[in-house]
């Protein structure tokens, strides 16, 4: 099998997409599959808006294959940081590209080791600006999930610089309001331990070809 990491280029065209799709299907083990999507998935999502409907229909097939394999193998890592960087810097990307990006961000974040989740918290905060309410809530849910692993030393300037909330009053208030909502969520008693009932469900994406007919106005329900 050819090494995708050596020759994958942006943007993808239909020919290269077909070639890499065959490589994905032909992966003999999970590590090989993981290494392929590490490079391929971010470039694929970035290429979606630059291509034709036929290209996008093929992309749906690729996403279906990736989802089936990844969901049954929790040890496979998804390139969360690369996807977050695309999501954070591409403010003008279409709802379609944003929805698929955040779907894989959520899916992959929950697979990361705690220390890596903590490292991505500042980037998650950066990604909140100019996003839909549903996307903001999902991203803040990931931040809340990672809070349990963050060691914050009180009155340290390092915290202020690292998370950058002092100079972003809108984002700070948004997150504080979200935390208040989390506190007000119902608790349930299980085996003498209280657990917070917090839903972190990915937004549903309809993986059907006709989703592309109006993808500019598409929203995940």
pLDDT tens-digit profile of 127-152?
998 888 999 999 999 999 999 998 87
pLDDT interval class at 108 (50, 70, 90) = very high
On the question of pLDDT at 90 being above 60, the answer is yes
Better pLDDT: 5 or 66: 66
Q: How many CB atoms lie within 10 A of CB 187?
A: 9
Q: Are strands 193-196 and 187-190 parallel, antiparallel or unpaired?
A: antiparallel
Both structure tokens of 46: 């970035």
Nearest Cα to Cα of residue 2 among 38, 32, 42, 34:
32
Rounded CA-CA distance 25/19 in Å is 10
Better pLDDT: 158 or 13: 13
Better pLDDT: 220 or 121: 121
Rounded CA-CA distance 80/200 in Å is 16
Q: With contact defined as beta carbons under 8 Å apart, do 10 and 43 qualify?
A: yes
pLDDT interval class at 1 (50, 70, 90) = very low
Mean pLDDT of the chain: 81
The 10s digit of each residue's pLDDT in 17-43 is 999 999 999 998 999 999 999 999 999
Rounded CA-CA distance 182/57 in Å is 39
pLDDT interval class at 209 (50, 70, 90) = very low
pLDDT interval class at 56 (50, 70, 90) = confident
SS3 72: coil
Q: The whole model's pTM is what? A: 0.77
On the question of pLDDT at 206 being above 70, the answer is no
What is the per-residue pLDDT for 8? 64
């Amino acid at each position: 099998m050819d090494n995708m990491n050596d020759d994958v280029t942006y943007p993808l065209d239909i020919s290269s997409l077909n070639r890499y799709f065959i490589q994905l299907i032909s992966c003999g083990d999970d590590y090989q599959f993981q290494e392929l999507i590490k490079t391929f998935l971010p470039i694929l999502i970035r290429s979606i808006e630059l291509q034709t409907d036929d290209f996008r229909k093929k992309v749906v097939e690729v996403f279906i294959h990736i989802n089936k394999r990844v969901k049954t193998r929790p040890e496979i890592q998804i390139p969360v940081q690369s996807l977050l960087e695309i999501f954070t810097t591409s403010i003008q990307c279409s709802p379609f590209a944003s929805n698929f990006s955040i779907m894989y961000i959520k899916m992959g974040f929950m697979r990361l080791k705690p220390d890596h989740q903590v490292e991505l918290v500042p980037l998650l905060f950066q990604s909140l600006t100019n996003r839909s309410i549903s996307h903001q809530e999902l991203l803040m849910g990931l931040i809340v999930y990672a809070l349990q692993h963050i060691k914050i030393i009180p009155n340290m300037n390092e915290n202020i610089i690292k998370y950058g909330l002092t100079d972003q009053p809108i984002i700070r208030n948004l997150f504080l309001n979200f935390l208040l909502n989390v506190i007000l969520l119902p608790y349930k008693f299980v085996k003498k331990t209280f657990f917070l009932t917090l839903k972190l469900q990915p937004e549903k994406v309809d993986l059907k070809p006709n989703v592309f007919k109006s993808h500019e106005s598409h929203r995940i329900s």
